[in-house]
Structure 1
Amino acid sequence: MKALDLAGTAVTNTLRSKLRTFLTVIAIVIGAFTLTLTSGLGTGINKYVDTMVEGFGAPDELTVSKQADGPSLAPGGEPTEYDPDAAASGEMFGMPLLTQDDLDALRATEHVTGVETARLVEPDYIEGADGRKWEVPFMGASFEIDMLSLAAGRAPAEDGDALEVTVPTDWVESLGGAAPEDVVGQEVTLVASDPLGAQSGVDATVVGVTEPVASGSGAGPVPSPELEQRLHDVTTQGLPEEQRNTYFQAIVTVEGMPENEAAVKAALADRGYQAQTLEDQLGVVRGIIDAVTWVLNGFALIALLAASFGIINTLLMAVQERTREIGLMKALGMTGGRIFGLFTLEAVVIGLLGSLIGVGLGVAVGLVANQVLTQGVLSGVTGLVLFAVNPWALLLIIGLIVAIAFLAGTLPAARAARKDPIEALRHE
């Protein structure tokens, strides 16, 4: 019997007892369906994380801050003796701030090709051309300029002394426009307070309107570097110079990443700085996602293990029922190896059928659920992806299930192959 004939016979034999085969296939479908959903969830959420990473910076950048030498932020423990020199340098959220000397040290580090900083400013309100005043719950920073998604206009100029700003699409109507293009070119005033509460305004031109992106860039007004500096001057007016020219962190560009990553990190650590890539900062998130995915996959594998016993039971019963048929095939010259192949092929057919149905259902349900949830109750999360199709993962699931089915079929197939033809022909 040729291989093609053997495969055709295996398919025919599988469909002999339709109910028994159907019940066995259902168990496989459940496992394949669960594996597909969990794999798609892991792929989708990691894809969302990747989108956020792309929006926060480039792969050749390190986020650098000073290592904290002072007291821990955690409650408890003995107090630390007050150091007036350390206090004068300023802190933010318990972390020491970077000074101009620190920025010079970063630029002098081998393999570092650029250092960027941004002022964190909080205007009290923004005044439109019609004189109406609007609160600014979230103010962006100039380092977001390259990450913006524009609905109209352009991004603020990164060089020169231009006082420019972008506003989000949600602000268009409040600023008197019917479409994003209507507010481009409008003159606005951003008003901030100095440490004593005195307010001062800085005039700026709206040059663009931004759409929301997954990283959150453009969710609020984004200023040009010069506008950001002017607002910073207002909010720090009267403070000591060492407190005015400080930065919470810096973005360092490194040549030859990732080969030079370890060397640059080590050099910065020796100088008292902490450097992290975006992957470092999001590594914990990815670890949690992967851990949950593996736990859910474990439950699916348990279902497949149970289904494998169903395959064994189905084929053992088939061997028992077809004992005389096996004896006749052997009497006609069919070898034990061919009989073994026939029964293992029947197991593979059951596994392939169950895996294809389960994977198909899993993909369909995952895509529909993703559409319903991201366009419904989770529509406020920009760029969210809950389920994504990874063709290689789907092929791996199908291959895994077929392999499990093959292994499950080897026991009854071996029993069929070892049957004595004379005894089998006498079987009632």
Structure 2
Amino acid sequence: MRTLDLVGTAVSNTSRSKLRTALTVMAIVIGAFTLTVTAGIGSGVNKYIDTMMASFGDEDQLYILDETNMDQAGAPGSAGAPPEYDPETAGASSEFGFITLDAADIDVIQDIDGVESVNPMVSVNGEYLETPDGTAYALDQFDAPQNASGLEFAAGGAPQGNDEITVPTAWLEIFDTEDPHAVIGQEIEIGLSNAIGEPQSATAEIVGVTEEAISGLGGNPMPSIALNDALYQLQTSGMDIDDQYMAVTAVVTDLEGNEDAVKADLEDQGYLAMTVEDQIGAIQGIINMVTYILIGFALIALLAASFGIVNTLLMSVQERTREIGLMKALGMSGGRVFALFSLEAAIIGLLGSGIGIGLGVITGVAGNQFLTSGPLSDVAGLTLFEVEPAALGLIGLLIVAIAFVSGTLPASRAARKDPITALRHE
């Protein structure tokens, strides 16, 4: 029997006992469906975390701040639209509780072996933001412009020019609109005090409206780097004072090889250094742990399905004993008989995996669309399910392999049958 005929016969034989085959396939479908949904959720959530945390810097950089600020590394986002500005309470949140770095700290960090360059991040304390209608609103803090790559926009884009800024969607109501596109191009005035308490102000153009991420990024106005520097110069004017930096980013030579040594040297000097992986590792570890647990349950379902395949084919071998004897009497080798029953097992696995993976993808994509555009629509950039073709292919191969291995026992029994004895079977 040619290989093509063997495959055709195997496909035909799987439909002999439709109910029994269908029940076996259903067990495989459950395992394949669970694996697909679990893998998709793990990929989707991890992708969202990667996107959300992208603002912490490039993969070859360390994010460095004073070790005292360890518990304050993430500034919270806005809680909503700001209140109207009250000069009596202005300035209450100076430096946001951070211990800042200065030029001496920059020199120390720059002298650490392995550090190529240091880029300081200046901190600006605004007091109010005045809308075009002349109303001033309290301005507690800005999002750092170095984090612009992690923003999600409802309208417009990232600030780049000398006088450009973004505002969060929660602030739209102070512009008397719910349409984020309506505020693009409007000019606002930013007020702050300099080093000796003199009022200063600068005009900025709104170029983007941001959606707040879980990390808080996008929940406050974000000036361009140039505007942030200009505001910092206004803030420090009036007195000869040293520059203060909320944090620095440092480019490290061969970060993968030198990471531990550079971090240890920085810690000895009283600094906290983190890579992007450090900042997302704990969250991703929890997600991966939950994913592995769910995958374990799916594999248990597939183990149960494998026993179903064994049972189905053993019964098939028993029912087709005379047929097996006839095939061997007509010259079909034991190897071909083994291949025939193994192919039947593989086809059952292929059928179950195809249906399960297909249902899993449809459910995952539909569920992601429903949740991210409905109950979870306020979470900017959220992805709950990601289709990974390589992972789906691996799941399919795994299930077919499990089915093939499960079929080897009944296939071996069929291959060993004596043709004379088999032909006498009633």
TM-score by length of 2: 0.83
Letter in 2 for 1:33: F
Please give the alpha-carbon distance, in whole angstroms, between the structure 2 residues aligned to 1:145 and 1:399: 41
| C-alpha distance 153-41 of structure 1, shift in aligned 2 (>3 A) | closer
Q: Is the 8 A contact 1:148 1:155 kept in 2?
A: no
Q: Is the 8 A contact 1:169 1:209 kept in 2?
A: no
> Structure 1 stretch 165-174 or stretch 288-297: which is displaced more?
165-174
1:403-426 deviation line (CA, Å, top 9, x unaligned): 111111111111111111111111
| C-alpha distance 184-154 of structure 1, shift in aligned 2 (>3 A) | farther
| C-alpha distance 251-189 of structure 1, shift in aligned 2 (>3 A) | same
The offset of 1:175, in angstroms, is 3.6
Gapped regions of structure 1 (runs ≥ 5):
71-90
| C-alpha distance 163-69 of structure 1, shift in aligned 2 (>3 A) | closer
Residue 212 (structure 1) aligns with? 211
Q: Is the 8 A contact 2:189 2:204 kept in 1?
A: yes
The alignment status of 1:274 with 2:278, answered yes or no, reads: no
Residue 91 (structure 2) aligns with? none
> Structure 1 stretch 251-260 or stretch 274-283: which is displaced more?
251-260
Residue 392 (structure 1) aligns with? 390
Equivalent of residue 140 in structure 1, options 125, 128, 143: 143
1:26-54 deviation line (CA, Å, top 9, x unaligned): 00000000000000000101111121233
Gapped regions of structure 2 (runs ≥ 5):
71-94
Q: Secondary structure at the match of 2:384?
A: coil
How many residue pairs match? The answer is 397
Please give the alpha-carbon distance, in whole angstroms, between the structure 2 residues aligned to 1:190 and 1:156: 20
Letter in 1 for 2:112: T
The offset of 1:2, in angstroms, is 1.1
How do residues 13-52 of structure 1 correspond to structure 2 at under 5 angstroms?
13-52=13-52
The offset of 1:313, in angstroms, is 0.6
Q: Is the 8 A contact 1:124 1:193 kept in 2?
A: no
Q: Is the 8 A contact 1:172 1:180 kept in 2?
A: no
Letter in 2 for 1:155: P
The offset of 1:231, in angstroms, is 6.8
Residue 155 (structure 1) aligns with? 159
The offset of 1:108, in angstroms, is 2.7
Letter in 1 for 2:321: T
> Structure 1 stretch 54-63 or stretch 395-404: which is displaced more?
54-63
Residue 190 (structure 1) aligns with? 191
How do residues 241-390 of structure 1 correspond to structure 2 at under 5 angstroms?
245-390=243-388
Q: Secondary structure at the match of 1:309?
A: helix
> Structure 1 stretch 381-390 or stretch 54-63: which is displaced more?
54-63
Please give the alpha-carbon distance, in whole angstroms, between the structure 1 residues aligned to 2:31 and 2:356: 7
Q: Is the 8 A contact 2:166 2:207 kept in 1?
A: yes
Please give the alpha-carbon distance, in whole angstroms, between the structure 1 residues aligned to 2:316 and 2:359: 29
Q: Is the 8 A contact 2:180 2:209 kept in 1?
A: no
Q: Is the 8 A contact 1:192 1:200 kept in 2?
A: yes
1:273-301 deviation line (CA, Å, top 9, x unaligned): 33211111111111111110000000000
Q: Is the 8 A contact 1:202 1:230 kept in 2?
A: no
Residue 174 (structure 1) aligns with? 174
The offset of 1:15, in angstroms, is 0.5
Residue 222 (structure 1) aligns with? 222
Please give the alpha-carbon distance, in whole angstroms, between the structure 2 residues aligned to 1:144 and 1:199: 30
> Structure 1 stretch 394-403 or stretch 52-61: which is displaced more?
52-61
1:345-394 deviation line (CA, Å, top 9, x unaligned): 11001010000000000000000000000000000111100001111110
The offset of 1:208, in angstroms, is 2.1
The offset of 1:330, in angstroms, is 1.2
Please give the alpha-carbon distance, in whole angstroms, between the structure 2 residues aligned to 1:148 and 1:33: 34
Residue 113 (structure 1) aligns with? 116
Please give the alpha-carbon distance, in whole angstroms, between the structure 2 residues aligned to 1:218 and 1:9: 62
| C-alpha distance 335-59 of structure 1, shift in aligned 2 (>3 A) | same
Please give the alpha-carbon distance, in whole angstroms, between the structure 2 residues aligned to 1:176 and 1:92: 29
The offset of 1:256, in angstroms, is 4.1
The offset of 1:16, in angstroms, is 0.3
The offset of 1:174, in angstroms, is 3.2
The offset of 1:112, in angstroms, is 2.8
Q: Is the 8 A contact 1:123 1:193 kept in 2?
A: no
Please give the alpha-carbon distance, in whole angstroms, between the structure 2 residues aligned to 1:409 and 1:381: 47
> Structure 1 stretch 143-152 or stretch 377-386: which is displaced more?
143-152
1:67-115 deviation line (CA, Å, top 9, x unaligned): 4599xxxxxxxxxxxxxxxxxxxx986x864332111111233443332
Please give the alpha-carbon distance, in whole angstroms, between the structure 2 residues aligned to 1:386 and 1:25: 28
Q: Is the 8 A contact 2:202 2:231 kept in 1?
A: no
Q: Secondary structure at the match of 1:202?
A: strand
How do residues 45-84 of structure 1 correspond to structure 2 at under 5 angstroms?
45-67=45-67
Q: Is the 8 A contact 1:156 1:207 kept in 2?
A: no
| C-alpha distance 192-365 of structure 1, shift in aligned 2 (>3 A) | farther
Please give the alpha-carbon distance, in whole angstroms, between the structure 1 residues aligned to 2:243 and 2:262: 25
1:191-238 deviation line (CA, Å, top 9, x unaligned): 46999xx7845232225223337565443212323344257549xx99
| C-alpha distance 7-360 of structure 1, shift in aligned 2 (>3 A) | same
Q: Secondary structure at the match of 1:62?
A: strand
| C-alpha distance 59-131 of structure 1, shift in aligned 2 (>3 A) | same
| C-alpha distance 133-169 of structure 1, shift in aligned 2 (>3 A) | same
Q: Secondary structure at the match of 2:121?
A: coil
The offset of 1:343, in angstroms, is 0.7
Q: Secondary structure at the match of 1:377?
A: coil
Please give the alpha-carbon distance, in whole angstroms, between the structure 2 residues aligned to 1:333 and 1:48: 60
> Structure 1 stretch 370-379 or stretch 199-208: which is displaced more?
199-208
Residue 399 (structure 2) aligns with? 401
| C-alpha distance 173-270 of structure 1, shift in aligned 2 (>3 A) | closer
Q: Is the 8 A contact 2:200 2:235 kept in 1?
A: no
Residue 86 (structure 1) aligns with? none
Question: What is the aligned-residue identity percentage?
Answer: 49
Q: Secondary structure at the match of 2:341?
A: helix
Residue 87 (structure 2) aligns with? none
Please give the alpha-carbon distance, in whole angstroms, between the structure 2 residues aligned to 1:377 and 1:156: 33
Please give the alpha-carbon distance, in whole angstroms, between the structure 2 residues aligned to 1:281 and 1:145: 17
